Amino acid sequence: MATRIATWNVNSVRPRLPRLLAWLAAAKPDVLCLQETKCAADAFPAAEVEELGYEVAAHGTGRWNGVAVLSKVGITEVTRGLPDEPGYLAEGAMFATTEPRAIGATCGGVRVWSVYVPNGRELHHAHYEYKLRWLDALRATAAAELADPRPFAVLGDFNVAPTDADVFDITQFTGTHVSDAERKALTLLRDTGLADVFPRALKHAYPFTYWDYRQLAFPNNHGMRIDLVYGNPAFTTAVSDAYVDRNERKGKGSSDHAPVVVDLDPAR
């Protein structure tokens, strides 16, 4: 049976709920990984989503970060947080905080992780070092998951552009999101046995997925490809199409990210 799996940094799920519900009804994904939900798990608008036939697994603690998986094909084996996930020690804080940035689930025979990688803020900032430690924990999690041969993918907002072609003008980027250390972390993640879906997709080889709200970035297509789908061979060989729903970035009340959609056909 063909399966449609999507990922979307919704940038606060409650104010974005009308758009989310309309998009679910129109795009009809079987599984949707959400990031930056910005709400506690018990405040996630599950009832509204469930009316469209989706089960919900959410991981959130308040108004920052937050991830979720929505599925029409069942949700089992839910894991909230990465094993050995590092915390962030903010300036002036006495203790590090483990943030809700990752949730794993099995949906219809496909294992997925929805991830919201830390931004990093600036080179040499404590948040940048936290980002690199977090990506290392994600690599270890993926390596453990890959012991299982079933289709598996890590989807979400990685806050890293894998190559210079994934930003509108590399000369405009000198800090985080394009640094050598961040890109090396992605390489190490792929080296566990994962591959980027998009160069293998039938269409739209290098589409942007994020456009800043400022300076007319979206009308000028000053974007970045930082929302990624990395799959194991059982996942990537089943990909029949993949695309960015750029239209969902348009109009009032949009997220600054567009959904990324991947269609799987196990018969391929």
Alpha carbons within 13 A on the beta-carbon side of 139: 17
Q: What is the per-residue pLDDT for 25?
A: 98
Residues of the chain short of pLDDT 70, as ranges, are 1-2, 200-206
> Token digits for 243?
């695309």
Q: Summarize pLDDT for 208-229 with one digit per residue, the tens.
A: 999 999 999 999 999 999 999 9
Q: For the chain, what is the domain count? A: 1
Q: What is the per-residue pLDDT for 1?
A: 57
Cα gap 173→162, rounded to integer Å: 13
Dmax of the chain from CA atoms? 55
CATH number at residue 119: 3.60.10.10
Cα gap 39→131, rounded to integer Å: 21
Residue 15: give the domain boundaries.
Answer: 3-264
CB 45 within 8 A of CB 19: no
Q: What is the per-residue pLDDT for 130?
A: 97
Residue with the two structure tokens 């799987």 = 264
Q: Please give the model's pTM, rounded to 2 decimal places.
A: 0.96
